């Protein structure tokens, strides 16, 4: 029941709470090339990464339910090869929502791959969302194929959930990050799916130092970043947790920790008061930073952390 509540919150309450219905979500936009054989489809939930191999197509994440036809229509713009594999970055319904529909449309010829923790969550029905079967899983690292078709899957620990995968396409020097890195701001943390703000900096840092040869980072939602931008994002989240701990030790509040972070000009982009284009249903980077400072305080105190989708930003513009 707990998972049901979290999924409901993410897909329903989180959106309706800010006055936007499902129709208010940005729709699917035209497929765009990221690098080499790697493409991205924005909208209707998380980004879908498209990787064209010698004989078929691999999809990373499948958006909200009933997006299968639209995804296949975008894939058809660049290739007539069939979809042979789906890799899911984590278990949220805006990333796995059309797995089942795509499998049906493709005659069940698709292999589904996910991290073991994500597999466990996907194979448990949650509220209005049915079970999504996983065919193959991994715990820390797995390589699929070789040469131009090679895909490397990595896992370094919890963050957004406890199953956040980093999917790397070495030939294209591209990586799909999932929601541990979305909108180039501190991520939504879902404690009900094993997410942890305290774990996040360690996970991101391990990814930054362990994964070689990436120039393009496809965010879970939003745009494509450089590896240098992924590093500054990692540094910001390290600083957020460190500042929260220092401020708590001094008897301060999350709001005071936020003020301390605002004094560092290099963090300005992560504390911005503008809604990101395409995130009209959500909040500002500043609001997310404050939510995550409060969450860090909760975790440091040993309290049960709570999922908070959005809070008002008094300086929003």
Interface contacts to Zn ion, rule CB under 5 A: 92, 179
CA angle 254, 179, 222 (to 5 degrees): 100
CB of 280 to Zn ion, least distance (A): 18
CB of 160 to Zn ion, least distance (A): 6
| Closest to Zn ion by CB, 183 or 267 | 183
Q: Give Cα 120 distance to the centre of its chain.
A: 18
| Closest to Zn ion by CB, 96 or 258 | 96
CA–CA separation, 33 and 83 (whole Å): 17
CA–CA separation, 216 and 229 (whole Å): 10
CB of 304 to Zn ion, least distance (A): 20
| Closest to Zn ion by CB, 93 or 170 | 93
37: its two tokens: 């054989």
| Closest to Zn ion by CB, 37 or 161 | 161
CB of 184 to Zn ion, least distance (A): 15
| Closest to Zn ion by CB, 75 or 189 | 189
Neighbours of 63 (CB within 10 A): 28
CA–CA separation, 287 and 65 (whole Å): 28
CB of 79 to Zn ion, least distance (A): 27
CA–CA separation, 272 and 224 (whole Å): 19
Q: What is the CA radius of gyration of the chain?
A: 19
Residues 205, 192 contacting (CB under 8 angstroms):
no
Pairing of the two strands 111-115 and 32-35: unpaired
| Closest to Zn ion by CB, 170 or 187 | 187
Neighbours of 12 (CB within 10 A): 14
CB of 253 to Zn ion, least distance (A): 28
CA-to-CA separations, 87 to 121, 128, 176, 291, in angstroms, rounded: 15, 22, 10, 30
| Closest to Zn ion by CB, 96 or 257 | 96
CB of 314 to Zn ion, least distance (A): 27
| Closest to Zn ion by CB, 92 or 288 | 92
291: its two tokens: 């939510």
Tokens 């080499």 — which residue?
36
245: its two tokens: 């701990």
CB of 224 to Zn ion, least distance (A): 18
From 293, 295, 290, 279, select the one nearest 312 (Cα to Cα).
290
């Amino acid at each position: 029941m707990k998972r049901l509540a979290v999924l409901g919150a993410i897909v329903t309450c989180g959106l309706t709470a800010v006055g936007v219905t499902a129709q208010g979500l940005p729709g699917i936009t035209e497929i765009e090339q990221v690098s080499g054989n790697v493409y991205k489809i924005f909208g209707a939930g998380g980004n879908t990464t498209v990787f064209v191999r010698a004989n078929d197509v691999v999809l990373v994440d499948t958006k909200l339910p009933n997006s299968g036809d639209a995804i296949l229509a975008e894939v058809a713009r660049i290739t007539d090869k069939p979809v042979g594999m789906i890799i899911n970055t984590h278990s949220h319904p805006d990333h796995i929502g059309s797995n089942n529909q795509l499998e049906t449309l493709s005659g069940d010829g698709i292999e589904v791959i996910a991290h073991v923790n994500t597999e466990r969550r996907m194979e448990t029905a949650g509220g209005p969302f049915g079970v999504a079967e996983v065919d193959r899983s991994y715990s820390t690292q797995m390589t699929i194929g070789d040469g131009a078709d090679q895909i490397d899957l990595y896992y370094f620990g919890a963050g957004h959930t406890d199953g956040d995968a980093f999917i790397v396409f070495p030939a294209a020097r591209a990586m799909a990050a999932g929601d541990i890195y979305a909108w180039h701001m501190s991520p939504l943390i879902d404690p009900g799916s094993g997410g942890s703000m305290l774990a996040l900096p360690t996970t991101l840092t391990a990814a930054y130092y362990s994964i070689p040869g990436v120039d393009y980072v496809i965010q879970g939602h939003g745009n494509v970043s450089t590896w240098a931008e992924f590093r500054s994002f990692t540094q910001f989240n390290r600083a957020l947790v460190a500042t929260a701990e220092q401020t708590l030790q001094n008897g301060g509040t999350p709001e005071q920790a936020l003020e301390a972070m605002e004094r560092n000009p290099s963090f300005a982009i992560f504390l911005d008061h503008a809604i990101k284009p395409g995130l009209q249903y959500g909040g500002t980077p500043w609001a997310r930073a404050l939510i995550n400072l409060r969450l860090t305080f909760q975790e440091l105190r040993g309290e049960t952390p709570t999922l908070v989708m959005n809070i008002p930003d008094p300086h929003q513009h």
